[in-house]
Amino acid sequence: MKTFSVAPNADETSWFVKLEDVAPEEVYGAKDDAISAAEQMAKESTPSKVEILDKDDNVQEERRF
């Protein structure tokens, strides 16, 4: 199962979408845009999941596809 993560930068002005917690796949200006993109990537790579992280890298929410 692939894991896509959505995480903010230090001051939460941009959001990163990463695959398997490596280098960012994409960078977005809004959290909702990053989540939507991560969900789309996950749907194209089922089975997979999206983890939404806070600024301290704690998982706030998990969605499975």
Give the Cα separation of 1 and 14 in Å (integer): 26
pTM of the shown model: 0.90
Check residue 9 and give its pLDDT: 93
Give the Cα separation of 16 and 35 in Å (integer): 9
Check residue 40 and give its pLDDT: 97
Residues in the chain: 65
Tokens 């997979």 map to which residue? Answer: 48
Per-residue pLDDT of the chain (65 residues; tens, 9 = 90+): 999 999 999 888 999 999 997 877 799 999 999 999 999 999 999 999 999 999 999 999 999 99
